[in-house]
Amino acid sequence: MDPSDATPSAELGFDVFAARCTSRATMETITSRWGALTLAALADTPMRFGELRRRIGGVSEKMLSQTLKQLEAGGLLTRTVVSETPLAVEYALTDAGQQVAAAIMALIDTVYRVQPAVDEARSA
């Protein structure tokens, strides 16, 4: 069997097409509006809250905070208090987070590649 096959009943028994599979929840977390961008932003280097906020155009504090919590709960990133006064917190990807982020980066690259075609389709 092709190891890159993502059809149902993959080697490990997960199936994103099944509504109740836990992998579905993970998929929704990482492909959420800000989840993917947050992971991509942290792919290169750990960042602080404010840095992330400036880097990801259009996120509100609320959404970034919420997204970070979800990713942390899923074990994709860690939250570390670097300094108390002034308060400084650093967010960094875990191993699992790095793997997912790499896949997200590849997806983003693909988007860049097809974007001219997409723009063309929309204007037509």
Partner DNA sequence: CGGCATCCGAATGGATACTG
Partner DNA sequence: CAGTATCCATTCGGATGCCG
Using the rule CB under 8 A, is 40 a contact of its own copies?
Answer: yes
Using the rule CB under 8 A, is 62 a contact of its own copies?
Answer: no
Structural contact between residues 23 and 17, judged by C-beta atoms closer than 8 angstroms: no
Which range in 6-14, 58-66, 92-100, 101-109 contacts DNA by CB under 7 A? Answer: 58-66
Which range in 36-44, 85-93, 97-105, 113-121 contacts DNA by CB under 7 A? Answer: 85-93
The rounded distance, in Å, linking the Cα atoms of 65 and 12 is 32
- Residue 80 interacts with, from DNA, its own copies, none (CB under 5-8 Å by kind): none
The DSSP secondary structure of 48-66, one letter per residue, reads EHHHHHHHSTT--HHHHHH
Helix, strand, coil shares of the chain, percent, nearest 5, are: 55, 10, 35
Using the rule CB under 8 A, is 20 a contact of its own copies?
Answer: yes
Binding footprint of DNA on the chain (CB under 7 A): 32-34, 48-51, 58-63, 65, 68-69, 79, 86-89, 91
